[in-house]
Amino acid sequence: MLEATLLSLQTALVATIGMAVPAFLIATYLVRNSGRLAFIIDLIVSMPLALPPVAVGFILLWLFGATGPLGSLTHGLAFSWSAMSIAAAIVSLPLVVRAFTAGLAEVEPRLVFAARNLGASQLRATWDITLPLARNGIAAGLLLGFVRSFAEFGATIVFAGNIPGSTQGLPSAIFSRISAGDFSEAWALAAVSIAIGGIALAIHNRLVSHQRTRIAARSTSNG
């Protein structure tokens, strides 16, 4: 149980860190643009929300498998721990991008524009203005991505397998215990999942609540 829990935590952490920058860049583009390209990007990024996770895992297995289009470039990726993180990141990315987009939408563009006019680079304006003002939305998005990555099962079991000690995370371990009829162990693993997920979601909801309070205060002051 400890091994599966640590593996899931490690997978979720790596997946969250790995998709943080891409999610921020995508969200920034979607906030600033509304043309056809933005629509297509949003559609592609959001696709994992519309597909069964098993289908996402199958597509990844086809792409990165030994006989897949990218198999020769990523030999040995499928059915490895890295495959767990990739599958979790792909499934979680839409949620993170949406949370980031909501947070970035509350940043007043005039502040960034003023900083650029005063000589600040785009990176400096992002670091000093955008990130601090959108911090609650960004933190909420990262937590949501972490929770979703931690709980991912369908895409992971297809792309990474269910190998004890290698790719058997907490969700896969629960599935294995249920299949074996070991319900007491399955309940113990489920309890660990509930505890970790509950703590992360409580922090996430707290951050979202703070963000809504700040938005309401701003609307009142503007009115």
In the prediction, which pLDDT does 132 show?
85
pLDDT tops 60 at residue 219: no
Per-residue pLDDT of 104-125, as tens digits, reads: 888 887 887 788 777 778 788 8
Reported as a pLDDT band with limits 50, 70 and 90, residue 202 is confident
Q: CB–CB of 23/97 below 8 Å?
A: yes
Sign of CA dihedral 92, 93, 97, 100: positive
Q: What is the pTM for the complete model shown? A: 0.84
Q: Which domains does the chain have, with CATH numbers?
A: 2-217 (1.10.3720.10)
Per-residue pLDDT of 133-157, as tens digits, reads: 888 889 889 999 999 999 999 999 9
Q: How far apart are CA 141 and CA 223, in angstroms?
A: 29
Q: What is the mean pLDDT of residues 171-177?
A: 92
183-198-104 Cα angle (round to 5): 140
Q: CB–CB of 178/153 below 8 Å?
A: no
Report which of 29, 66, 26, 31 is spatially closest to residue 47, judged by C-alpha positions. Answer: 26
